[in-house]
Amino acid sequence: MKKWGMLFIAVMMVTLVLAACGQEKNNSGNAANNAGQAANQNETQAGGEQTEPAKKLVVGMSADFPPYEFHIKNDSGQDEIVGFDVEIAKEIAKDLGAELEIKDLKFDTLLNELSSGRVDLVISGLSPTPERAEQIDMSKIYYKAEQAVVTREADKDKFNTMEALEGAKIGVQQGSIQEDMAKEIPNAQLTSLGKINDIIMQLNTNRVDAAILEGPVAESFVKNVKGLVITDATPVTEDDGYVIGIKKGNQELLDQVNTTLDRLISAGSIDQFVAEASALAEK
């Protein structure tokens, strides 16, 4: 009996030792699992911060339209798009907390790029025509300017009225309201080109008699291109001012754009942007 009792006690002691070892192993395993889960969670969080894409605002412009938007060589000798539309775009991007990307495109492609979603906004001296209103949403008017007729110095008096342009060869930017205005001139022969620089070249080489341009743009080219003048002819359009184009149905972005414009207009910032861009264009 004593022998069996001693054997029973030995078996119990071995069982308790094995159980304790199993408990310690499970605890170690649980601790390792918990540590692994915490590490994975931290790694996921850290990875999320590293891989989260930056918010970007893509703005379409036709950067041949000083002082609205145009190319310069900056202090580092690099090409840069500047102008008062660019400054407005920067303010919108800042208010959105987004990185600004500017795409330089032909003017007559801008609305298609907007409708397709390849750009988020169009800021490029855009007039609020009824036809455009059917295709895109538009902001409030942020700037108003008159139109002008540019010709060579020798022809300033020859084309000093809109009637004098009847039958003339007229250069205009394709897809612009100036093109629409020129179409209303009886017997006018239009040369519609994508870039204003090309229109000015046509004028300088006597391939067109005159060009219809937006006022500040005309003033910029006359100051920088020898032999050109603005005539006394006064083009008239029903389209009043310039707006920012937004893809149809994007009410949130439209509201945000208008909020930024309200801030800039009330602070007088847009007039300041125009003055600074005009001075830069003259250089």
Cβ atoms of 143 and 241 closer than 8 Å? yes
CA–CA separation, 210 and 148 (whole Å):
10
Q: What pLDDT score does 236 carry?
A: 83
In sequence order, the β-bridge partners of residue 103 are: 60
| One-letter amino acid for residue 181 of the chain | M
pTM above 0.75, yes or no: no
HSE, CB side, 13 Å, CA atoms: give it for residue 192: 15
Q: If you write DSSP's letter for every residue of 38-73 in order, what string do you get?
A: HHHHHHHHHHHHHHPPPPEEEEEE-SEETTTEEEEE
Domains 56-144+240-282 and 147-230 share a fold: yes
Nearest-5° Cα angle at 202, 152 to 114? 120
Give the pair of three-digit tokens for residue 212: 């219809």
Top-level CATH class of 147-230? Answer: alpha beta
Q: What pLDDT score does 256 carry?
A: 98
Nearest-5° Cα angle at 46, 40 to 50? 135
Place of tokens 């754009």: 257
Top-level CATH class of 56-144+240-282? Answer: alpha beta
pLDDT 10s per residue in the chain (283 long)? 444 444 444 444 444 444 444 444 444 444 444 444 444 444 444 444 444 556 999 999 999 989 999 999 988 999 999 999 999 999 999 999 999 999 999 999 999 999 999 999 999 989 898 999 999 999 999 998 889 999 999 999 999 999 999 999 999 999 888 999 999 999 999 999 988 999 999 999 999 999 999 888 898 899 889 999 999 999 987 766 899 999 999 999 999 999 999 999 999 999 899 989 988 887 7
Nearest-5° Cα angle at 237, 145 to 181? 115
Give the pair of three-digit tokens for residue 170: 């007229």
Q: What pLDDT score does 53 carry?
A: 54
**For the chain, what are the domain ranges?**
56-144+240-282, 147-230
